[in-house]
Amino acid sequence: MEVTGPAPTHNRSTRVLVTVIGLLVVVFIVIVLNILSARFSARFDVTRTGALKPSDQTRAILASLSGESEVILAANLVAPGRDRAAMSRVLDMIDELDKSSADVRTTIINTGTPAGIEQYQALIDRLSSERAEETRASVDVARSAMGALERLAQQMQGWAEPVQALAKEHAPNRSGESPWRGELSQQAAYLRVAANDVERVRQFADQHLSQSLGETAVPNVSAARDLISEAHSRLTQIVTSQLEDLLIRAQDPNLSTEGSASANSLALVMQTALDETAIVVDAFTSSPLPVLSRVAAALASAEAVLVIGPTGEDITAIRIEDLIPAAAPGQARIDAGRRAETLIGSALAVTSGASPETTVVLIHGTDTLILSKQSQMAKLLDAMALRGIKWIEWPVSISPERPAEVALAANEPGTVYVVVGMSMTTSGGPERAIRVGAVLGELIESGENVLVSLSPSTMQGMGEDDPMATPLEVFGLTADTGRPTLLDRPIGDRRFVEWEQQIVPAESGHPLADVIEGLTTRLVWPIAIDRSSEIGSAWPLIRTSDANVWREAEWAGYWTERDTNRHNIANPPAPGGPRDDAVEDGAFAWAVEREHNSATQRAVVVGSHLWLFDYYARRTTQVGGSVVETSPGNTELALAAVKWLAGRDSTIARSAESESFPIIQPLSEARLSAARWFFMGGLPLLVLIVGAVVRLVGG
């Protein structure tokens, strides 16, 4: 029997040496990888919507930056009741922005610690010292305006007595008293009360103008301006009403000659005082706010995100409450990371000048203002405002002539006009449509860029031209507004006819189509728009592939039913009528261009009149505990369309909030084939190679 002796010493030493070398190589590789990761960021995101990285729109904004912008988050990160998960998402997104661009520098200040408070105070001192002269000049103008308001109040106190005394100049009635005594006594008292109220306004304005954070003066000129402006408007209304009343009373035949002269003289004095006050106050309220005052309220809260532009002259503040809105108990929460990305990205674009301000003029024919405080487009307007887009309104039925504000906007570069058609089945609907259509025709003829939202028209059904559709023929488009489309949706033995359609666009070849591709878009009473002639260039944006959609000629009766009653109608509209038709090649939205007066004119035409309104565009549902919009394509199309019409092509991209619901990205055929070959051939081959190396080293 052969006895095996101990292994040779040199074999054991070789294995130890190989092991030590292997460990050293691994340590060296780890060190090198850490050094490289600190200098070069490479992050991988397997979610389809890219929820863990900046959106296309944000990347476009970052790419357009020139010069270093600064993003500063100051907040108590451990405040009781704060949503830690939401704050963590915000911090992660800020970190992503920092690593995605060399032109963005981020700073996190935890004001919940003594060191953070000192750091925050140092930030305030820095901002204040850099803008001290500008802020001081603005405060002086504010105090001058307040002084003008106080002088007007003193004059109002002095006018009260002659107003009341005017009653004595009127012939007495049968009881021997002046019939004006009671009325003029009330008016005099009203003047005194309104004048006394100015002192309270002055006290509050002084508080705002004297605001300081720690030992640093940070006057809130914006808040003081709001107070002064409101008080001035109130006093102007009171004094104007009083002088108009005096002018009327001066014509009373029962008023003495002295009384008539006194009333006219007093009215003239009042008008002069109003004019003098208006000059000073209007100069203050129309002047740009000092940079520091724009963020004074946010600075005072000690919790905000500050975005400072490359030049340091532009600052935007975002309140923490806007960044992470509190959700009611039991309600789903928004994606705080995506919201932070949208707000901060938009602020970067505005402060850096990459996204110049754009004015949108909303033109419609209703008898009410759409852009009121309780606007039905409030969420869209907020989204636009974040991107430096301001909306103004021209209700043609109320103001047949172009308002002064709209006339001024017409001279600004990049102004966009949004023309919205409204119901024609209501009283006066056709007349309003004719007026709005005339304005649309003038805009197109003058070469303006327009976004048109079409409404179903009763005029085409009667053999007349739709005044909203006719001007679009110069772009080679024919809108079938007399036959809006409906969707036949049979369920069991019942038919449901839908007037709303949720469509997932699949078009491409145009920036607007690329933005909304794959995003659900909701259209109400969609109108098919046909390409009737090859004028200029045209790109379809939204089509339907549903065979159950048709153009309905007898739609008016179904339209006039309440939304809640339509599904209960025994005999809803059905396809196959003598004047009905299939949609075929018609699209529901187009982007078009043409050459006009040696320039390129653009238009976006959408065959739906309510697609911009929040009720349809911003509906939400809860998915996995998060709030998700059911038709994000509406808002994305609106934002992108305004940018395209304003000539801001480089900033057109899908926004962050439209990508707030991540799902795992499906494997493409190429990736699936590569994975199969790896597991069938690559993995066994790798095992053989490793085995051969081990065998070679081990002997």
Task: Answer whether residue 449 is part of any domain.
Answer: yes
Same domain, 571 and 695: no
- Lowest average pLDDT, out of 8-17, 122-131, 473-482, goes to 8-17
Is the pLDDT at 656 greater than 80? The verdict is no
324-359 CB burial, b ≥16 within 10 A, e <16 = beeeeeeeebbbbbbbbbbbbbbbbbbbbbbbeebb
For 574-630, the pLDDT digits (tens) are 888 899 889 888 899 999 999 998 899 999 999 999 999 998 888 877 665 566 778
500-503 and 521-524: which strand pairing? Answer: antiparallel
Residue 481 has pLDDT above 80, yes or no: yes
What pLDDT score does 4 carry? Answer: 53
pLDDT at 35 over 80: no
The alpha helices in 329-387, defined as continuous H runs, are 336-352, 378-386
Q: What is the pLDDT of residue 619?
A: 85
Quick one: 689 and 597 in the same domain? no
* In a domain? residue 184: yes
Residue type, 408: L
In this structure, the answer to whether residues 168 and 237 fall within a common structural domain is yes
pLDDT band per the 50, 70, 90 thresholds, residue 45? low
Is a pLDDT exceeding 90 seen at residue 479?
yes
Residues 456 and 603 in one domain: yes
pLDDT reading at 527 higher than 70: yes
**pLDDT score recorded for residue 332:** 46
The Cβ of residue 255 has, within 10 Å, a number of other Cβ atoms equal to: 20
Domain boundary among 594, 615, 636: 615
Residue 305's pLDDT is 87
- Answer yes or no: do 211 and 278 share one domain: yes
580 lies in the same domain as 686: no
pLDDT at 665: 45
Within a domain: residue 299?
A: no
Do residues 164 and 273 both lie within one domain? yes
Q: What is the pLDDT of residue 566?
A: 85
Number of domains in the chain: 4
Q: Which of 92-96, 416-420, 520-524 has the lowest mean pLDDT?
A: 92-96
409 and 535 co-located in one domain: yes
* Beta strand spans in 111-214 (E): 212-213
Query: Mean of the pLDDT values across residues 365-376?
Result: 80
Q: Over 90: is that where the pLDDT of 551 sits?
A: yes
Decide if pLDDT at 42 tops 80.
Answer: no
Same domain (yes/no): 143, 28: no
**For residue 228, what are the contacts with CB-CB under 8 A and spacing of at least 6?**
142, 145, 146, 149, 201, 205, 281, 284, 285
State the residue range of the domain holding 677.
673-699
Residues 6+ apart with CB under 8 A from 480: 460, 527, 528, 529, 530, 551, 586
pLDDT attached to residue 691: 67
201 band by pLDDT with thresholds 50, 70 and 90:
very high
Q: Which of the listed ranges 584-588, 608-612, 667-671, 679-683 does the model predict with the highest average pLDDT?
A: 608-612
Bridge-based pairing state of the strands 216-217 and 212-213: antiparallel
Strand 581-582 versus strand 626-629 pairing type:
unpaired
Among 250, 265, 289, which residue terminates a domain?
A: 289
DSSP label of 333: B
pLDDT band at 537 (very low <50, low <70, confident <90, very high): very high
- Whether the per-residue pLDDT at 666 is higher than 50: the answer is no
Beta bridge partners of 305: 73, 318
pLDDT higher than threshold 50 for residue 330: no
Mean of pLDDT values over 62-80: 85
Residue 136 pLDDT > 80: yes
Residues in the chain: 699
Question: Which tokens sit at 214?
Answer: 């720690």
143 and 253 belong to one structural domain? yes
User: What is the distance between the alpha carbons of residues 160 and 192, in angstroms, rounded to a whole number?
Assistant: 7
Please state, in angstroms and rounded to a whole number, the distance separating the CA atoms of residues 496 and 487.
8
Extract the tokens encoding 609.
Answer: 């009149």
Lowest mean pLDDT among 134-138, 306-310, 560-564, 683-687: 683-687
DSSP-derived secondary structure letter, 465: P
Angle subtended by helix axes 181-209 and 221-249, to nearest 10: 170
Q: Is residue 127 part of a domain?
A: no
SS3 at position 32: helix
What is the residue-wise DSSP string for 242-257?
Answer: HHHHHHHHTT-TTB-H
> Rounded mean pLDDT of 502-526?
90
Element (H, E) at 497: strand 494-498
Distance (Å, whole) CA 348 – CA 357: 13
Q: Is the pLDDT of residue 662 over 50?
A: no
Look up residue 114 and give its two tokens: 């003594």
- Please state which of the ranges 118-122, 292-296, 519-523 shows the lowest mean pLDDT: 292-296
Are the C-beta atoms of residues 227 and 209 closer than 8 Å to each other? no
- Of the candidates 560, 552, 559, the one whose C-alpha atom is nearest the C-alpha of residue 578 is 552
* DSSP track, 576-633: --TT-EE-TT-BSEEEEEEEETTEEEEEEEES-SSTTSHHHHS-EEEETTEEEES-HH
Given this model, what pLDDT does residue 29 score?
80
Q: What is the pLDDT of residues 143-179, one digit of tens each?
A: 999 999 999 999 999 999 998 888 888 888 777 788 8
Domain boundary among 569, 590, 615: 615
On average, the pLDDT of the chain sits at: 83
Whether the predicted pLDDT of 331 surpasses 50: no
Q: Is position 546 within any domain? A: yes
| 677 shares a domain with 583 | no
Assess whether 694 and 609 both reside in one domain: no
Q: How far apart are the first and last CA of the chain?
A: 25
Mean pLDDT of 130-148: 89
Residues 6+ apart with CB under 8 A from 548: 487, 488, 489
Domain for residue 316, yes or no?
no
Instruction: Tell me, yes or no, whether 632 lies in a domain.
Output: no
Residue % of the chain over a pLDDT of 70: 87
Lowest mean pLDDT, pick from 43-57, 102-116, 183-197: 43-57
Whole-number pLDDT of residue 467: 92
Q: Is residue 209, in this structure, part of any structural domain at all?
A: yes
